[in-house]
Amino acid sequence: MKQQIIVSGIGGQGVLFLTRVIAQVAVNRGLAVLTSETHGMAQRGGTVLSSIKVGDFASPLIRAGQADVGLLLWDANLGVHQPLLREDGTLVISSEQPGVGKRIAATKLARELGNAVLANLILLGLAVRDAVLFCSVEECEEAIRQLAPARFVEQNLAAFRCGLEG
């Protein structure tokens, strides 16, 4: 099993948390995993990009045209990060506008759940529903329980399930 995934957004959208959830699923299944994250000044509202490489890899970074899946929390990043995707790669995008890839109004739905930042797990739900990622529903729920602060676990799971329902 090998999969290369990018997670794109802007600082404050929970790109790092989403990255960790996916990587934790790999660890729980005993798969090798490498991620790369954006920290520091760019986290202050700027464009951030994470990469996740599951399987036998040595580097956490993804070459242009090699990502299997792109999860985009900020649709304006499409022009910046789409070149990382393979021609046959799958895009899953949080957006209220029509366009390329699988789309869901994740931020709007998250706001209805009480917090716009939950868009990250709604997007994950959609990706898992459509079997875009290597991970299963149960595996994602387990990882969310492991990583979310105790008082936010239920809210996070609700967001993930909201995405599963599309």
Partner 1 sequence: MEQQVELLMGNEAMACGLIESGCQVVAAYPGTPSTEILQAVADRRATAEEPLHIEWSVNEKVAFEVALAASYTGKRSAAIMKQVGLNVAADPFMRSAYLGVQGGFVTIVADDPGPHSSQNEQDTRLFCLQGRVPVFDPASPAEAKALLPLAFELSEKYEMLTVLRPATRICHSRQNVRLQLVQQLQRSANFKKDPNRWGATPAFLPALHRKLNDNLVAFAAEPAVQPRLTQGDGSHARLALVASGIVYGHLVDLLAELGLTDTVDLYQVVLPYPLNSAWIDTMRADYDRVMILEETYPVIEMQLAHGGAFGKQSGDIVKEGELTPDVVHEALARFLDLDAPAPAPANSRGQRPSLCPGCPHRSAFYSIKKTFPKGIFPSDIGCYTLGINLKAVDTVHCMGACISQGAGFYQSYAQDSGDDFPTVVVTIGDSTFFHSGIPALINAVIQKARIIVVILDNGTTAMTGGQPVPHLGRTATGAATRAIAIEPLVRASGVEFVACCDPYDSDALEAVLKKADSHIRDPQGGVAVVISRHGCLMDREVVKSQPRYAMEITPDCIGCRRCVDAFECPALSMDEATKVAVLDPDRCIGCGTCIPVCPVHAIKGTSEGELS
Q: List contacts with partner 1 (CB under 8 A).
A: 10-12, 19-20, 23-24, 26-27, 31-47, 57-66, 74, 76-77, 79-81, 83, 107, 111, 116
At closest approach, how far in Å is the CB of 70 from partner 1? 14
Residues 6+ apart with CB under 8 A from 76: none
At closest approach, how far in Å is the CB of 46 from partner 1? 3
Considering beta carbons, is residue 58 or 150 the nearer one to partner 1?
58
Gap between the terminal Cα atoms of the chain? 26
Q: Tokens 């899953």, residue? A: 92
At closest approach, how far in Å is the CB of 12 from partner 1? 8
The CA–CA distances, whole Å, from 127 to 106, 158, 163 equal 12, 15, 8
Nearest to 120 by CA among 39, 40, 16: 16
At closest approach, how far in Å is the CB of 130 from partner 1? 25
At closest approach, how far in Å is the CB of 110 from partner 1? 9
Reported as half-sphere exposure (CB side, CA atoms, 13 A), residue 87 has a value of 0
Q: Which H or E element spans position 90?
A: strand 85-94
Considering beta carbons, is residue 111 or 161 the nearer one to partner 1?
111
Considering beta carbons, is residue 11 or 89 the nearer one to partner 1?
11
Considering beta carbons, is residue 94 or 129 the nearer one to partner 1?
94
* Structure-block tokens of residue 50: 């994470």
Q: What residues form DSSP beta bridges with 50? A: 7
Considering beta carbons, is residue 48 or 92 the nearer one to partner 1?
48
